[in-house]
Structure 1
């Protein structure tokens, strides 16, 4: 484990992902939450959205998405994870774990507060390149927060959940995690499958992280959204500023 190895694992794959406009695929839960209520649960997107067939185009698109882009994502995760291991209290696992959790959740909470202003800024940005840059910056920040949470919780579980009996600890954490997701109907959040393309959404939804209640119980959230929209319409002298419906119930199609 060396600093050089970790840096290479970041500086090589991330620019390639930027070139392929695939940085959004770095993000996982809790930076993106998907519920199990979906019309096409087994439909996985590919980078160039080739039509499903036995053609070379579709097979090549699948290989590019799964093997090439997927490997770049794994390498990027490895690099940042190792950098945390090297620089964040490397001799104190418990302190490193809790610090990682705090950094991760602090980052994600801040970004959750900023996602609405960022979304409005993207809607006003007409140049596609500028929109892609803004979206990528936001997604990379979300990714770092997500990775920090993953690492922190991983180490917390290692430190406190039956540390002397690792096999039993693994089964307990797996059972609690999967069982909780199934009960909440959020099992799709485990798998970040398919491929999203940065900058494709022109409605600002590219920086929306997706909230659980807005997807599983949209009727609980929609009245508040409509009230905010009505207040904006009143303040704008009747000018229509209603939020697009994608913001409320269709995050999973844009993430």
Structure 2
């Protein structure tokens, strides 16, 4: 559920600044009001179904089962990512790619939810839920993530959209960026560290803040507490989006530790809004949507949210995969949230028009800079040259 802004557009060539600003606002609204509720609804559904179906095993065994599913599945998809990439591509067979890729997302999303539920349940069993214990576990997670420059991995919708783009569909970034073709043992260790250590630390932080809100925010009235979280969360989301230009301006003029500090502080503020939005939507679904039949409620929410995200080509927003480094993007892009949807669609349409125009003149438009693409956000912004060549290939088919 996290992403990078590397390679994403700062403007739309051929469109006015006002038009680009309008598309930006629509993208942020789409991320906040469509993608985020669907992602939360899906996670709540799978989590709830696992609570129901694993209940007979008791504590802590149901948590250990989820850990086994989550960690094993995540490692398999990480280690064999290149196998998927080599064997499934629309150039070979478009229908097979579509079927395999969407089933991949469905399976991986189920694995991701279990990968979080397992450590969460085991922590509930092993540690106390008083304020002191929650603060301690949360600080451990935050400090550890800051130390390894991995705090940005706590990011989730509404502060990102991961589209179902062909390029990088099966890519899972690891902490130390060791490639599959390098020494196998080192690559496996990199995958283990990324999944077991970084992933668990992120769960520590989320669980700590979530349960602290249970204690602090109207603890005697669950419904009001949930509405309070939703309202507070969206207020923080709006402020985070409004602060983004100023934070980007600041980070462009900083470097080193000061730039990292500013970026991490902004990430923590956005994260506080994210947790509140998730907690609000999650709890309100439990309260108002078929509360007397939780199993049916979860199944309906599961399929409705999943289908909406697949139709919108945003189903990869469900996945928590890959490890990203704080402030690794150039200049102020490290504090720009990867909520690119309409802007990418319109950019592709513009490039396609240029492709048609160049083809009619029997010419190829070229740009003197390298092709860029996102890492993990699954929104790849090609240069005009690359897009023209790819479109020509598609037309010949």
Query: Smaller-chain TM-score range?
Result: 0.7 to 0.9
- Using the size of structure 2 for normalisation, the TM-score is 0.54
State the match for 1:77 in structure 2.
206
Could you list the runs of 5+ residues in structure 1 that have no partner in the other structure? Answer: 223-244
Deviates more, 1:80-89 or 1:204-213: 204-213
Do the aligned residues in 2 keep the contact of 1:29 with 1:189 (CA within 8 Å)? Answer: yes
For residue 171 of structure 2, the aligned residue among 43, 62, 85 is 43
1:209 equivalent in structure 2: 337
Conserved 8 A contact 2:164-2:378: no
Matched, 1:181 2:309: yes
In the other structure, the counterpart of 1:62 is 191
Question: Is 1:99 aligned with 2:228?
Answer: yes
Q: Is the 8 A contact 2:234 2:277 kept in 1?
A: yes
Q: Is the 8 A contact 1:128 1:199 kept in 2?
A: no
State whether structure 2 residue 134 is matched by structure 1 residue 22.
no
The alpha carbon displacement at 1:250 in A equals 4.5
Distance 1:113 1:12, change over 3 A: same
Cα deviation, 1:148-192, whole Å, max 9, x if unaligned, reads: 111110110011001111111111111221111111111111112
Query: 1:70-108: CA deviations, max 9, x gaps?
Result: 000011111000000011111111111111011111111
> Structure 2 CA distance, aligned partners of 1:217 and 1:176?
27
Tell me how far 1:38 sits from its aligned partner: 4.1
Q: Distance in 2 between matches of 1:221 and 1:157?
A: 40
Please list the CA deviations of residues 16-46 of structure 1 after superposition, one character each: whole Å capped at 9, or x if unmatched. 0000000000011112111112411111111
Larger radius of gyration between Structure 1 and Structure 2: 2
Q: Residue by residue, what CA displacement relative to the aligned partner does 1:90-138 show, whole Å, maximum 9, x if unpaired?
A: 111111111101111111111111112211221221x221111111111
Partner of 1:226: none
**Alpha carbons of structure 1 residues 108 and 220: separation in structure 2 relative to 1, 3 Å:** farther
Please, what is the CA RMSD of the aligned residues?
A: 2.2
Specify the SS of the correspondent of 1:204.
Answer: helix
Is there any run of 5+ residues in structure 2 with no aligned partner, and where? 1-128, 352-370, 380-397
- Contact 1:215-1:250 within 8 A present in 2 as well: no
CA–CA separation in structure 1 for the residues paired with 2:148 and 2:239: 27
Q: Distance in 2 between matches of 1:62 and 1:110?
A: 36
Distance 1:51 1:186 in 2: 27
Indicate how the Cα distance of structure 1 residues 109 and 221 shifts in structure 2: closer, same or farther if over 3 A, else same.
farther
Alignment partners' CA distance in 2, 1:133 and 1:18 = 9
The Cα of 1:221 is off from its aligned counterpart by 10
Answer whether contact 1:178 1:187 (CA < 8 A) is retained: yes
The total of aligned residue pairs comes to 229
Question: Aligned equivalents of 1:112 and 1:38: distance in 2?
Answer: 28
CA drift at 1:215: 3.2
Does residue 117 in structure 1 map to residue 262 in structure 2? no
